[in-house]
């Protein structure tokens, strides 16, 4: 009697275990499927996150085309190629050293222990020196509290954009011009490009600017112009100034005004009978709407010393000070102390500028005459006579020409590569400054040029041009 019952119980227990095992298998399968889906979902999420690792602004920001090209050329030079690198708007210290007095004052300031934070808007002595130097050089009177010192002109321009613009605001600027397209991208502004013509020396005209003024927040101008080395005539700038005054007079009291950023970082480098003009000197009523950009970078071959400044209405200067203070864009204190002492020495400043401008003009004029000679020989080149800054505007009409190897130069990139490869001449196409990629105009910078090398450059260039069909 007992055995059958035990057997029945055994089979019942077996069935129970089998059912539990089947249930476990089902759970395991379900869990495995769910785990696979979870991993797939997680992988998709991670993949989606990897597609947007940074802000949209940073994702679509383009690095400096000029620096990229200059670095590529320098790599080829280090590899042994013989190249005249006229790309970067910089100076070779072996050719163009900073003023001796400025160097001595920098060393002295560091030895005196000026290594702590400077004041947020700049050292008082420097702001006073900038005020005095600006009045003497340009006839502009700005008090020390209307001056803001920063680590070069770039932070100043950044501060102007940050202070005046909201996302979507409209900025008008000429092309070719330096970096305005990138600053617009940084702040989500709407950049409105005004294409400049050879007939106007690549400077913007009032007629070209007028159609874009409605609703604009900022007009960005520069003279002498980077990249062209050309300048505003008095009449050209007066007409533009009148447009800005007219536009602001038309706007309602609660409407944002139109401001004018005037970059005169090359304003001390004018040649011959050419003169520098600025908005407020021509139209004093523009003072509430104008912010100037200036510094020692170009006038004193001091690009690495990093002392720049803005001049403008105190209300705007104070806001710029707060913004640049948050990002620490100060000029080093020792350099500020040294620059103040240097600018206060009128004899040293005047002596350096006279010599420096003479050396620059010797190079600019020598290269200009070289291109004029090639043009007279029938080669399809052109060069605009130097007026200011350290640049020449050069044209190579070589598209459609065929090289000795049979390659047709069909684009500006082809022409640039040919001139670099065959003549060893490196320049920056205007397309790097916002102009059309079809433009056959170039910026040539003389900050690294040795006078003795000019004849050899044109010998190679003549040979390269002669081999084209």
- Per-residue pLDDT of 262-285, as tens digits, reads 999 999 999 999 999 999 999 999
Instruction: Look over the chain and give the mean of its residue pLDDT values, rounded to a whole number.
Output: 91
Residue 130 lies in a domain: yes
Whole-angstrom distance, CA of residue 376 vs CA of residue 282: 39
What's the pLDDT at 68? 79
Q: Is residue 128 part of a domain?
A: yes
- Choosing from 285, 320, 345, the residue where a domain stops is 345
If asked whether residues 430 and 298 sit together in one domain, one would say: no
- What's the pLDDT score for residue 6? 44
User: What pLDDT, on the 0 to 100 scale, is given for residue 3?
Assistant: 44
pLDDT tens across 52-91, in order? 689 989 988 887 777 777 788 878 878 888 889 999 899 9
Provide the pLDDT for residue 67: 75
Q: In which band, very low, low, confident or very high, does the pLDDT at 43 lie, cut at 50, 70 and 90?
A: low
Strand order in the sheet with 441-445: 381-383, 391-396, 441-445, 428-429
Single pTM value for the model: 0.88
Indicate whether 183 and 217 sit together in one domain: yes
Q: Judge if 297 and 432 occupy the same domain.
A: no
Pair 329, 405 in one domain: no
Determine, yes or no, domain membership for 131. yes
Report whether pLDDT(16) > 70: no
Are 432 and 67 contacting, i.e. CB atoms less than 8 angstroms apart?
no
Q: How far apart are CA 369 and CA 372, in angstroms?
A: 5
**Phi and psi at residue 370, to the nearest 5°:** -65, -45
Whether residues 81 and 188 fall in one domain:
no
64 and 140 inside one domain: no
Q: How large is the average pLDDT for residues 208-225? A: 98
In a domain, 8, yes or no: no
Q: Residue 34 falls within a domain, yes or no?
A: no
Domain stop point among 319, 345, 371 = 345
State the Cα–Cα distance between residues 332 and 105, nearest whole angstrom.
13
Give the chain's domain count. 2
3-state SS track over the chain: CHHHHHHHHHHHHHHHHHHHHHHHHHHHHHHHHHHHHHHHHHHHHHHHHHHCCCCHHHHCCCCCHHHHHHHHHHHHHHCCCCCEECCCCCCCCCCCCCCHHHHHHHHHHHHCCCCCCCCCCCCHHHHHHHHHHHHHHHCCCCCHHHEEEECCHHHHHHHHHHHHCCCCCEEEEEECCCCHHHHHHHCCCEEEEEECCHHHCCCCCHHHHHHHCCCEEEEEEECCCCCCCCCCCHHHHHHHHHHHHHHHHHCCCCCCCCEEEEECCCCCCECCCCCCCCHHHHCHHHHHHEEEEEECCCCCCCCCCCCEEEECCHHHHHHHHHHHHHHCCCCCHHHHHHHHHHHCCHHHHHHHHHHHHHHHHHHHHHHHHHHHHHHHCCCCEEECCCCECCEEEEEECCCCCECCCCCECCCHHHHHHHHHHHHCEECEEHHHHCCCCCCCEEEEECCCCCHHHHHHHHHHHHHHHHCCC
Instruction: For the chain, give the percent of residues with pLDDT over 70.
Output: 89
Which domain does 456 fall in, by range? 59-92+351-466
Q: Residue 426 is part of a domain; what is its CATH number?
A: 3.90.1150.10
Per-residue confidence (pLDDT) for residue 66, from 0 to 100: 76
- 153 has pLDDT over 50: yes
Residue 184 domain flag: yes
Residue where the block lists tokens 């040979």: 463
324, part of any domain: yes
* Mean pLDDT confidence for 199-213: 97
Bridge partners of residue 191, in order along the sequence: 171
Among residues 316, 345, 374, the one where a domain terminates is 345
| Residue 219, in any domain of the structure | yes
Sorting pLDDT into bands at 50, 70 and 90, what band is 45? low
Looking at the fold, whether 268 and 363 belong to one and the same domain comes out as no
CA distances from 250 to 244, 343, 366 (A): 10, 41, 48
Query: Kind of pairing, strands 425-426 and 290-295?
Result: unpaired
Q: Are residues 338 and 368 in the same domain?
A: no
Looking at the structure, tell me whether residues 355 and 338 fall in a common domain.
no
Q: Per-residue pLDDT for 174 more than 90? A: yes
Question: Which CATH number does the domain housing residue 317 bear?
Answer: 3.40.640.10
Report how far residue 235's alpha carbon sits from residue 241's, in angstroms, rounded to the nearest whole number. 10
139: pLDDT strictly greater than 80: yes
Handedness of CA 26, 28, 34, 36 (dihedral sign): negative
Give the pLDDT of residue 35: 44
Residue 229's pLDDT is what? Answer: 97
Same domain, residue pair 137 and 86: no
Does residue 363 share a domain with residue 244? no
pLDDT at 19 exceeding the cut of 80: no
10 burial level (CB within 10 Å; 0-12, 13-18, 19+): exposed
Instruction: Please indicate, yes or no, whether residues 129 and 82 belong to a single structural domain of this protein.
Output: no
What pLDDT, in 10s, does the model give residues 316-325? 999 999 999 9
pLDDT at 307 over 70: yes
* Rounded CA separation 194/23 (Å): 75
Residue 40 has pLDDT above 90, yes or no: no
Q: What is the mean pLDDT of residues 100-125?
A: 98
């Amino acid at each position: 009697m007992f055995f059958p019952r035990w057997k029945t119980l055994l089979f019942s227990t077996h069935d129970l275990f089998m059912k539990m095992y089947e249930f476990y298998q089902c759970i395991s399968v379900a869990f495995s499927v769910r785990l696979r889906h979870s991993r797939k979902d997680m992988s998709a999420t991670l993949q989606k996150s990897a597609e947007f690792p940074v802000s949209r602004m940073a994702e679509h920001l383009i690095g400096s085309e000029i620096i990229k090209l200059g670095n590529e050329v320098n790599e080829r030079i280090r590899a042994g190629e013989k190249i005249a690198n006229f790309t970067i708007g910089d100076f070779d210290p072996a050719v163009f050293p900073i003023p001796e007095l400025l160097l001595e004052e920098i060393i002295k300031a560091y030895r005196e222990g000026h290594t702590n934070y400077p004041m947020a808007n700049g050292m008082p002595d420097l702001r006073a020196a900038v005020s005095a130097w600006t009045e003497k050089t340009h006839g502009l009177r700005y008090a020390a509290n209307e001056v803001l010192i920063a680590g070069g002109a770039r932070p100043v321009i950044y501060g102007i954009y940050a202070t005046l613009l909201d996302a979507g605001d409209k900025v008008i600027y000429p092309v070719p011009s330096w970096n305005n397209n990138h600053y617009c991208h940084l702040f989500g502004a709407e950049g409105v490009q005004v294409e400049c013509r050879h007939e106007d020396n690549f400077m913007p005209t009032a007629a070209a600017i007028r159609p874009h003024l409605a609703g604009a927040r900022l007009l960005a101008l520069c003279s002498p112009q980077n990249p062209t080395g050309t300048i505003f005539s008095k009449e050209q700038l007066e007409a533009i100034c009148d447009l800005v005054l007219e536009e602001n007079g038309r706007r309602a009291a609660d409407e944002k005004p139109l401001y004018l950023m005037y970059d005169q970082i090359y304003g001390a480098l004018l040649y011959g009978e050419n003169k520098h003009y600025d908005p407020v000197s021509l139209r004093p009523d523009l003072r509430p709407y104008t912010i100037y950009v200036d510094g020692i970078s170009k006038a004193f071959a001091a690009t690495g010393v990093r002392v720049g400044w803005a001049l403008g209405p105190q209300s705007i200067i104070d806001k710029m000070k707060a913004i640049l203070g948050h990002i620490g864009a100060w000029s080093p204190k020792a350099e500020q102390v040294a620059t103040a002492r240097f600018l206060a020495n009128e004899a040293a400043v005047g002596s350096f500028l006279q010599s420096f401008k003479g050396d620059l003009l010797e190079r600019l004029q020598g290269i200009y005459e070289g291109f004029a000679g090639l043009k007279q020989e029938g080669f399809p080149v052109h060069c605009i006579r130097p007026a200011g800054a350290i640049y020449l505007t050069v044209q190579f009409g070589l598209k459609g020409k065929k090289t000795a190897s049979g390659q047709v130069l069909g684009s500006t990139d082809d022409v640039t590569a040919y001139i670099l490869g065959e003549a060893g001449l490196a320049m920056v196409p205007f397309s790097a400054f916002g102009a059309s990629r079809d433009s056959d105009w170039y910026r040539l910078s003389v900050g690294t040029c040795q006078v003795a090398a000019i004849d050899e450059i044109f010998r190679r260039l003549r040979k390269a041009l002669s081999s084209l069909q």
